Structure 1
Amino acid sequence: MPVSNQYVYDLDRQHVFHSWSTQGNLNPLVIAGGRGCELWDYDGKHYLDFSSQLVNTNIGHQHPKVIEAIKAQADTLVTIAPATANLMRGEAAKRILAHAPEGFSKVFFTNAGADANENAIRMARLFTGRDKILSAYRSYHGSTGAAIVATGDPRRVPNEYARGHVHFFNPYLYRTEFHATNEEEECERALQHLHRVIECEGPGAIAAILLESIPGTAGILVPPKGYMEGVRALADQYGILLIFDEVMAGFGRTGKWLALDNFGAKPDLITFAKGVNSGYVPAGGVMISKPICDYFDTHFFPGGLTYSGHPLAMAAIVATLDAMAEERIVDNARQIGQEVLAPGLTKLAEKYPLIGEARGIGLFWALEFVSDTKAKTPLAGPIVAEMKSALIQRGLLTFTVENRLHVVPPCIVTAAQVGDALAILDEVIRVFSEKYAGR
């Protein structure tokens, strides 16, 4: 039988159980193949991917060097236990650490970002002998046991089975919790709030503060100047470890190798996944600073995964990071972000009252939609979903959360492709602004 959109759709609906969904309401998009920033279905309809799927295909779809590396590794050794020494695992760790801050010496490999955060939390508790983990309400750290409870957004509520998690408000000037009028006030008051949470929870009980370097799913909230450095100072003051979650923001997304490179704070542990090999083969991990590595030289680490450092995933990491360096993909993300995407989205925000704010860095941007700009009333989720459908119909794939549309193309995107996407956004937002602004 020839494969068709209908066949694949029916197959999915009969047999596949989807994440974060009410199963009976699903209408999944059928995708047959892809290349670079484009995807297509079996009917030949093409889509420009400005979601990078789940903000992970930083190197684009089907990069030939990465595909070839996976094939070559499959011919050599397709799998091996994590207790062995393996060439690709060592080379992957070496390349990852080349982009870490000074003082990081080893990598613990996981299957994805969620279990990377799980293991960073485990390391912090073992190293400090403390239990509590502080994380932000506006955050997402994964859907496994401790990671989903560390997550701040409401999806954690039906999943709160892990112990010892406390949340605080991170900076978000557009919807400030601190009655701030500018970034400086927001930073100062957010740090004071965090300080009080630390004091009230008992500094001697807190193992770590877990923060996304730039919160992604929560709205691409670039921290104000001085905030990350202030959190580092508070952690140092009370002997608390600092974990930066780079799962979504790392490896080129912000126009730098790691999002933390945009700030002056150095963490003790760094979690990663997604962009490290664009999700070609599932992989994640924890970059570990030397003091913590030294501790586990003489203390048992009670954790492990069957597929930790899987050879196919490691080969994909090596090829991805090499290709990103050789082809100056991080530089492209910075240049296209600064010169094309940022000005284009800013103009849309100035043009349409439906956009309350455009914010971001590199190729990591969000448009926040409001029905009333003065009251900042969030545009209803079903309307944003309707807008997403209109964009898909015009061939643009986007990533939406609540009242936000995240504009996050692969880091290889061209100026022409950004121009095409901006034209589609302009067309669709104009129609929705006429219909819903001021309501």
Structure 2
Amino acid sequence: MTITAPERTRVRTDDRAHVFHSWSAQAQIDPMPIERAEGSYFWDDEGRRYLDFSSQLVNVNIGYQHPRLVAAITEQAAKLCTVAPGFANDARSEAARLIAEVAPGDLDKVFFTNGGAEANENALRMARVHTGRHKVLAAYRSYHGATAGAIAVTGDPRRWASEPGVSGVVRYWGPYAYRSAFHAADEHEEGARALAHLRDTLVVEGPHTVAAIILETVVGTNGVLVPPPGYLAGVRALCDEFGIVMIVDEVMSGFGRCGEWFAVDHWDVVPDLITFAKGVNSGYVPLGGVVISRAIAATFDDRPYPGGLTYSGHPLACASAVASIGVFRDEGILEHARALGRDVIGPELRALARRHPSVGEVRGLGVMWALELVRDRKTREPLVPFNATGAAAAPMAEFAAACKQGGLWPFTHFNRTHVVPPCTTTPEEVREGVAVLDAALDVVDRYYTGE
């Protein structure tokens, strides 16, 4: 049942009068009110249904309104809504134990935060205190959050307004074979040259001054860039050689999104710190954290850790994480995500590329994919320029509008559309969404100028 017209008016009026929205020019937006959601769909205030190919912000990994998570939150709220982080709590202890069980190697302690940005903030702090060094190497194509330290290590344009920021950040180019910064001929050469570039950067910066290298295992918003074979192992080797902490940001790629508990499991690489959030409980209650290796945890055995949060390990959030991990195990979410990517999403998107010249490349893993849209396949000219706004961004805006008109909610960024539905989405639902993408790409093809 849809809400009444007066209720719809009140929601919109109060929002515009009192809510200050993220990343937005406040006078230029008109946020859509969402009434309800279930599974892979949500409904607006007028009852229109959308198949969510964005998982909101790539976080609703087990879908909307999963009854086990709703029940776990309700039961925890009836027992204990909140407790300070200095106490022990059954929900927090169990969530930490379960996360440590699925983490690679000897990463077996968890520092809980409220989200991914705070997780990255604390990982940076841990690395700097552990090593006694200050510099951090971070990739240009990256996003690590909007708090002071996290935005400083972010590479994409969202950092510009916050500069100058936290000191000690040094940027490097990660691998991206389709638009290689290293003039590589293939994935293998791209990985090798990216590692050589990273080593050169370390050498001229002084590796003895570098506390950490931070990277998204699979780059998320900035392209869904799956690392070439051997690249992550090469980063691990560089960190070992110079005593540098390897931080992998799995806020987006973790907990089933790439078909594994953590995306690094695809390459059998064990970092020193893993940051997580989003998919750990599908965002039902704010939660993030850092999974910590024994060596780094031992640094704080007899010296206080210089950080903390009032809501670290919040019982409602941790109870939902416990339930979520149970769902992943009992319902075969990882296996489903792997199969969905391998057998449905990948093949369906490659078929789109054969039908639409504007699709320059298809790439992805599990339930994390992207279509790179171009004006010319030969020159690889992007459909819209880097960080385009206004009229320059119009082709992507038209594409997104066509998707929404067809009942699909897309995730677009620069010249890409990402295909990141909930990991529980069915093959039939994926094909339903791909059919809408197929029609929307007809709009993009009109801008194609290649042969």
Same fold (TM over 0.5): yes
- Which residue of 422, 430, 433 maps to 2:442? 430
Aligned to 1:406: 418
Q: Is the 8 A contact 1:118 1:147 kept in 2?
A: yes
Which among 75, 78, 87 is matched to residue 75 of structure 1? 78
Identity, % of aligned positions: 53
Match of 1:394 in 2: 406
Q: What are the within-5 Å matches in structure 2 for residues 278-317 of structure 1?
A: 278-317=282-321
1:149 to 148, 152, 167: 152
After superposition, give the CA deviation of every residue in 1:143-187 in whole Å (9 maximum; x if it has no partner).
Answer: 000100100111112212111101100000000000001011101
Bigger mean CA deviation after superposition, 7-16 or 112-121 = 7-16
CA deviation after TM superposition for structure 1 residue 383, in Å: 1.3
> CA RMSD of the aligned region, Å?
1.1
Deviation larger for 368-377 or 277-286: 368-377
375-384 or 71-80: bigger deviation: 375-384
Matched, 1:60 2:63: yes
In the other structure, the counterpart of 1:421 is 433
CA distance in 2, matches of 1:10, 1:405: 31
Matched length: 438
| Contact 1:4/1:42 (<8 A) preserved | no
CA–CA distance in structure 2, aligned partners of residues 412 and 117 of structure 1 = 27
Matched, 1:223 2:227: yes
The offset of 1:293, in angstroms, is 1.1
Aligned to 1:139: 142
- Report how far residue 129 of structure 1 moved: 0.2
**Runs ≥4 residues deviating over 4 A:** none
Which letter maps to 2:89? N
Whether 1:95 and 2:98 are equivalent positions in the alignment is yes
Residue 353 of structure 1 and its aligned partner are, at CA, apart by: 1.1
The question of whether the paired residues in 2 share the 8 Å contact of 1:5 and 1:41 is answered with no
Query: What is the match of residue 357 of structure 1?
Result: 361
Judge conservation of contact 1:228–1:264 (CA < 8 Å) in 2.
no
3-state DSSP class of the match of 1:360? Answer: strand
> What SS does the corresponding residue of 2:102 show, helix, strand or coil?
coil
Secondary structure at the counterpart of residue 108 of structure 2: strand
Query: What secondary structure, in the 3-state scheme, does the structure 2 residue paired with 1:437 have?
Result: coil
Task: Tell me how far apart the structure 2 counterparts of residues 291 and 101 of structure 1 sit (CA, whole Å).
Answer: 14
Is the Cα contact below 8 Å between 2:101 and 2:108 reproduced in 1? no
CA–CA distance in 1 between the matches of 2:40 and 2:76?
25
Indicate which of 198, 203, 228 corresponds to 2:202.
Answer: 198
CA contact (8 A) 1:187 1:226 kept: yes
Instruction: Give the AA of the match of 2:17.
Output: Q
2:16 counterpart of 1:13? yes
CA distance in 1, matches of 2:411, 2:442: 19
Give how far 1:423 is off: 0.7
Does structure 1 conserve the Cα–Cα contact (< 8 Å) formed by 2:236 and 2:269?
yes
Cα distance between partner residues in 2 of 1:402 and 1:349: 18
Structure 1 CA distance, aligned partners of 2:373 and 2:37? Answer: 30
Q: Do the aligned partners of residues 5 and 389 (structure 1) sit closer, same or farther apart at CA in structure 2, a change above 3 Å counting?
A: farther
Matched ranges for 1:312-351 at <5 A: 312-351=316-355
The code of the aligned residue for 2:438 comes to: D
Separation in 1, partners of 2:350, 2:12: 37
Q: Are 2:284 and 2:320, in contact at CA under 8 Å, matched by a contact in 1?
A: yes
Paired amino acid for 2:379: A
SS at match of 1:359: strand
Q: Describe the SS at the equivalent of 2:378.
A: coil
* Comparing 377-386 and 335-344, the one that deviates more: 377-386
Q: Which of 91, 104, 119 pairs up with 1:116?
A: 119
Instruction: Give, in angstroms, the shift of residue 16 of structure 1.
Output: 1.2
Q: 1: CA distance between counterparts of 2:258 and 2:7?
A: 37
Deviation at 1:264, TM superposition (A): 2.6
Give the counterpart letter for 1:262 in structure 2.
Answer: H
> Do the aligned partners of 1:4 and 1:43 also contact (CA within 8 Å) in 2?
no
1:102 CA drift (Å): 2.0
What amino acid maps onto 1:40 in structure 2?
W
Distance in 2 between residues matched to 1:416 and 1:8, nearest whole Å: 34
- Secondary structure (helix, strand or coil) at the match of 1:317 reads helix
TM-score by length of 1: 0.98
Aligned AA (1:333) = A
For residue 193 of structure 1, report the CA deviation from its aligned partner.
0.3
| 3-state SS in 1 of match to 2:16 | helix
> Matched residue of 1:242: which SS?
strand
SS of the counterpart of 1:297? coil
Q: Deviations over 1:2-56 (max 9, x none)?
A: 4544432232222211111111211322210000001012222111011000000
AA aligned opposite 2:207: P
Partner deviation per Cα, 1:238-273 (whole Å, 9 max, x = no partner): 110100100000000011111111113210000000
Could you tell me whether the CA contact under 8 Å between 2:399 and 2:443 is conserved in 1?
no
Q: Which amino acid aligns with 1:438?
A: T
1:87 maps to amino acid: D
- Select which of 233, 255, 262 maps to 2:259: 255
**Separation of aligned partners in 2, 1:386 and 1:97:** 44
Say whether 1:50 aligns with 2:50: no
Check the 8 A contact 2:120/2:150 in 1, yes or no: yes
Q: TM-score, normalised by structure 2?
A: 0.95
Q: Unmatched 5+ residue regions in structure 1?
A: none
Q: Equivalent residue for 2:387?
A: none
Residue identity opposite 1:267 in structure 2: P
Q: Is the 8 A contact 2:398 2:443 kept in 1?
A: no
Is 2:281–2:320's contact at 8 Å kept on the other side of the alignment?
Answer: yes
Q: Tell me whether 1:376 sits opposite 2:380 in the alignment.
A: yes
